[in-house]
Amino acid sequence: MARTALVVGGNRGIGLAVARRLADEGHHVAVTYRQEPPPAGLLGVPCDVTDLDSVRDAFDRAEELLGSVDVLVHSAGITRDRLLYAMSEEDFALPLLTNLTGAYRVTRRAVRGMLRRRWGRIVLLSSQVALSGEAGQANYSASKAALVGFARSLARELGGRGITVNVVAPGLTDTDMAAALPEERREAIVAGVPVGRLVRPEEVAAAVAFLASADAGAVTGAVLPVDGGAGMGH
Ligand code: NDP
């Protein structure tokens, strides 16, 4: 059955791969972007999750064009890597605002329609480092670990209403975010990955698509690693 999906942060990287995968499966898909719209063929709605009005406008627009959101994917995320001694209040707060508060905002808005229809799929992009930790990423990994508690609490709250809430935890994935790391750092990380390479965005998208499917109705509160074995299932 075709569903309406909104991928927050879907104009590039993992979110774009998710949007393409869901569209290939026949779903009606909208993605959000800030400056750079998605490639041709995908419906884009502007949204900056650090701005509550922008979240409201994005949902209004997506729902006006496609109907109420059945599948929500929160892929918007930023890093602000610093060792603790150099991490300012702002460096700490910004990833939390985008990665965690952003997830709260879009989920809260999406759940409204899902509750009405008693069906919904929510998938939040966390990270392997949420569970393993990473030097220089105390802010980022805290925001990503918090998503697990957020998702599991909502899984309990919403499970009886046909709404599942799950987390996907990718390892280092071949996107702009990984490209921003110094090459030696990337190589050092890959050296510790059993499959010996970066994760492909399409591999993360396949996991998200499963969790978004009708078949995954009994999977909720899960953390699904797609990390080449780096976390050994955490
Ligand atoms: P990218 O840096 O390639 O893309 C980030 C996406 O987030 C873009 O669509 C970007 O939109 C969007 N975004 C950033 N800030 C905001 C904001 N304030 N409001 C709305 N959208 C925003 O990241 P990836 O695709 O690699 O990562 C996707 C998710 O997966 C992130 O949550 C990331 O933390 C997580 N992840 C990534 C890993 C990796 O190695 N790549 C590993 C583990 C987890 P815009 O184009 O407008 O900037």
pLDDT in tens, the chain (234 residues): 999 999 999 999 999 999 999 999 999 999 999 999 999 999 999 999 999 999 999 999 999 999 999 999 999 999 999 999 999 999 999 999 999 999 999 999 999 999 999 999 999 999 999 999 999 999 999 999 999 999 999 999 999 999 999 999 999 999 999 999 999 999 999 999 999 999 999 999 999 999 999 999 999 999 999 999 999 988
Nearest ligand 1 atom to the CA of 177 is 2
**ipTM beyond 0.85?**
yes
CA atoms within 13 A on the CB side of 123: 32
- Each as own residue / partner, the long-range contacts of residues 82-91 (CB below 8 Å, 24 or more positions apart, any chain) are 82/136, 82/139, 83/135, 83/136, 84/138, 87/138, 87/139, 91/139
Superfamily (CATH H level) for 4-226: NAD(P)-binding Rossmann-like Domain (3.40.50.720)
Nearest ligand 1 atom to the CA of 77 is 32
Output the CA 144–ligand 1 centroid distance in Å: 12
* End-to-end CA gap in the chain: 33
Token couple for 196:
């010996």
Output the CA 208–ligand 1 centroid distance in Å: 15
Query: Is 85 assigned a catalytic role?
Result: no
Closest C-alpha residue for ligand 1 atom 47: 34
